[in-house]
A and B are shown apart, each in its own frame.
Chain A
């Protein structure tokens, strides 16, 4: 079971971005994917989770309206996207799989993270 994320990105404020998280070694459609933001020097922040089988996202109030989560079961890939980046979006973003099919359980495995840098 593995989650592999897309590579590092450098963007300007106002630009759009989509990063990916591809699962392998299990039935991707059956387990929710969570997204976590990690700002260097700060703690982990939960952004929301996605049911790949229904393309049904559930967002943290702190991130709702600023990011969009989606998934493609045909390619076993989850996506996190921004339509207009801000400098404050600079962080490393992790995807992780919920071990319980009801969207709870512990988070395992985690992707390797995608570093997003937003700077003018």
Chain B
């Protein structure tokens, strides 16, 4: 299957600072990538859809000015958590369908654990 990587895998930051998380499709092109957030013992919640070359689409309740998404190439999307607060501490996971396939299989990255102190 296709491989999606995320960097960093784990980050601790102080309240008020910004953190950037990268999501890369390593062996396929992804015109679309998805960003999810997962709190402990809960399922994944879609935050936004990242589209290469255009603005991201945010889910209801997700602040687009706080969670900045950039999809600059067919293999890279970034999520920047601006002015992070402790309540932003969570597991952030990206996924991407392989644009070259007619199926709708999505491949997930390993996730980034963010802790805001």
Q: Do A and B come from one complex?
A: no
Residues in chain B within 8 A of chain A (CB atoms): none
**Which residue numbers of A lie inside 8 Å of B, CB to CB?**
none
